[in-house]
Amino acid sequence: MKQKVDLGIWSWLAQAVVALVAIAALLLIGMAYLPEIQKNERMRREIERLNAEIDQLKAVQQQQQLEFNALRNDPKTVERLAREKLGYAKADETVIRFETNAPAR
C-alpha cells in the first residue's frame, strides 16, 4: 500500500506555479493573436462600409434604369425632356423664357 506524504506548503506552491505558468501561456497566446483580432475587426468594418456603398449604388442604378426605360418606351417622357433641356417646341407654340436677374451688389 502506498502512503501519501504530506509535503505541506510545497505541494500548494507547486500547484500555484503550474497554474501561473498555464495563465502566462494563455496570455502569451492571446497577445500573439491580438493583432489578428484587430485586423479582423478593421476588415469587418470595411466590409460593412462597402456593403452600404453597394446598396447606395444599387439604388442609383435602379433609378437610372427607370429613367432609361421611360426614355426608351414613353414618348411623352422624351417630349418633356426635349422641351426642358433643349428648348424645343411644336410648330404652333410660342415659348416664353423667364430669366432671373442677379441681385445688385
Give dist(CA 15, CA 60) in Å, integer: 66
pLDDT of residue 20: 96
Phi, psi of 65 (to 5 degrees): -65, -40
pLDDT of 80 reads 87
Task: Output the pTM of the full model.
Answer: 0.53
Who contacts 87 (Cβ-Cβ below 8 Å, separation ≥6)? 95, 97
Cα-flanking dihedrals φ and ψ of residue 62, to 5°?
-65, -40
Question: What is the per-residue pLDDT for 17?
Answer: 94
Contact between 89 and 96 (Cβ < 8 Å): no
* Set of cell numbers at residue 69: 426605360
Name residue 85's amino acid: K
pLDDT single digits (tens) 37-89: 899 999 999 999 999 999 999 999 999 999 999 989 999 998 888 888 887 88
19-46 confidence digits (pLDDT tens): 999 999 999 998 999 999 899 999 999 9
